[in-house]
């Protein structure tokens, strides 16, 4: 995510932003299809409560943090697999503020800001976690009409100009990467439901907290997600496992491309910058809800 927005703003390059949008298009269509065909049980996709203040403020703070840290939650995890020590330091800051936000001294602040919620309707029929189409109605026709409009806008941006003229020198093109990420998001929605007992998708703030809480305390202490007994050692969520898979997968890829190299910034102040960036993005992510 950091790369997608950074390239648009700083070097006016839409390539990674197209890839991000393409992944979103595929993920939105696929995830809602498997929900509507009943592959995610009665509860379907887990949608969070609508807290506009927390979403806007958290998103802004998260944006500041990822620029300083040099990557978003999954970004700093995969860059560890390339051997970047700065990503390890950024993750360290990210984890500290995540756990402080979900379980520690920052939690009252998060709860206070998140308490400003917007619901649709009132009483027992109120929708506390509305999707965009809920503002227009409840039928499947309305849902897929809204999705079609959103997808059409996104597709227009993806295909604007000459999207296929820029190709990666090594690795995958933006289109291949976008398609694979979109498909992985759909797969994660189903596997998190089927094996993790909760359709949680492929987020990184909660699961990163789950993984490190499991490592440090033996208990993920996930507030909303089912936890499992891990051979009597402790309890963890399904999502905690993919957090450790990301740097391993990136390491395999980097080795295959002969790009793995242990690196560290020469300037100590850069390590301080990425650490503070990690702290900021952890709080922002927890506040925004993922």
Q: What's the rounded Cα separation, in Å, for the pair 85 and 260?
A: 12
Query: Is residue 191 close enough to count as binding other proteins by CB under 8 A?
Result: yes
* 180 in contact with other proteins (CB under 8 A): yes
Cα dihedral across residues 159, 165, 168, 170: positive or negative: positive
- How far is Cα 10 from Cα 222, in angstroms, rounded to an integer? 37
Query: Quick one: CA torsion of 239, 240, 242, 243, rounded to 10 degrees?
Result: 130
Between 5 and 24, how does the x/- string for binding to other proteins read (CB under 8 A)? -----------x--x-----
Task: Determine if 186 is a binding residue for other proteins (CB under 8 A).
Answer: no
Q: Which stretch binds other proteins (CB under 8 A): 52-60, 133-141, 152-160, 220-228?
A: 220-228
Round to whole Å and give the CA distance between 163 and 15.
Answer: 7
Residue 265, helix vs strand vs coil? coil
Considering just the CA atoms, what is the radius of gyration of the chain in Å? 19
Among 39, 85, 144, 172, the residue binding other proteins under the rule CB under 8 A is: 172
Residue from the set 105, 231, 266, 268 that interacts with other proteins by CB under 8 A: 231
4 binds other proteins per the rule CB under 8 A: yes
What are the two backbone dihedrals, phi and then psi, of residue 181, each rounded to the nearest 5 degrees? -65, -45
Residue 174 in contact with other proteins, rule: CB under 8 A: yes
Q: Residue 139 or residue 219: which is nearer to other proteins going by CB?
A: 219
164 in Cβ contact with 175 (< 8 Å): yes
Cβ within 8 Å of residue 174, ≥6 positions away: 15, 16, 18, 19, 22, 163, 166, 168
Which of 94, 54, 55, 56 minimizes the C-alpha distance to 72?
94
Mapped onto helix, strand or coil, the DSSP state of residue 290 is coil
Query: Which residues from 50-109 bind other proteins, rule CB under 8 A?
Result: 74-75, 77-78, 81-82
Smallest separation, CB 120 to other proteins (Å): 26
Q: Which of 159, 218, 244, 264 binds other proteins (CB under 8 A)?
A: 244
Tell me which stretch binds other proteins (CB under 8 A): 30-38, 105-113, 177-185, 268-276. 177-185
Of 52-60, 62-70, 139-147, 225-233, the segment contacting other proteins by CB under 8 A is 225-233
- What does the binding site for other proteins look like in residue numbers (CB under 8 A)? 1, 3-4, 16, 19, 74-75, 77-78, 81-82, 168, 171-172, 174, 176-178, 180-181, 184, 187-188, 191, 195-197, 202, 222-231, 235-236, 238-254, 257, 259
């Amino acid at each position: 995510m950091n790369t997608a927005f950074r390239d648009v703003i700083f070097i006016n390059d839409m390539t990674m932003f197209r890839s991000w949008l393409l992944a979103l298009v595929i993920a939105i269509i696929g995830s809602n299809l498997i929900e509507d065909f009943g592959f995610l049980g009665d509860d379907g996709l887990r949608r969070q409560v609508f807290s506009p203040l927390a979403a806007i403020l958290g998103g802004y703070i998260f944006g500041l943090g990822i620029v300083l840290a040099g990557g978003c939650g999954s970004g700093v995890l995969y860059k560890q697999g390339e051997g970047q020590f700065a990503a390890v330091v950024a993750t360290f800051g990210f984890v500290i503020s995540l756990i402080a936000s979900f379980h520690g001294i920052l939690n009252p602040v998060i709860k206070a800001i998140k308490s400003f919620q917007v619901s649709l309707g009132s009483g027992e029929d109120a929708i506390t976690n509305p999707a965009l189409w809920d503002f227009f109605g409840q039928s499947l026709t309305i849902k897929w009409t809204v999705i079609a409009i959103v997808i059409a806008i996104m597709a227009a941006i993806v295909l604007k100009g000459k999207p296929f003229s820029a190709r990666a020198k090594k690795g995958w093109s933006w289109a291949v990467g976008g398609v694979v990420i979109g498909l992985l998001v759909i797969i994660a929605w189903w596997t998190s439901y089927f094996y993790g007992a909760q359709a949680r998708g492929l987020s990184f703030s909660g699961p990163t907290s789950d993984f490190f809480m499991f490592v440090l305390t033996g208990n993920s202490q996930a507030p909303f997600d089912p936890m499992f007994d891990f051979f009597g050692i402790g309890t963890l969520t399904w999502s905690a496992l993919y957090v450790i898979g990301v740097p391993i997968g990136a390491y395999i890829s980097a080795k295959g491309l002969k790009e793995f190299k242990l690196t560290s910034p020469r300037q100590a102040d850069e390590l301080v910058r990425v650490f503070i960036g990690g702290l900021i993005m952890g709080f922002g992510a927890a506040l925004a809800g993922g």
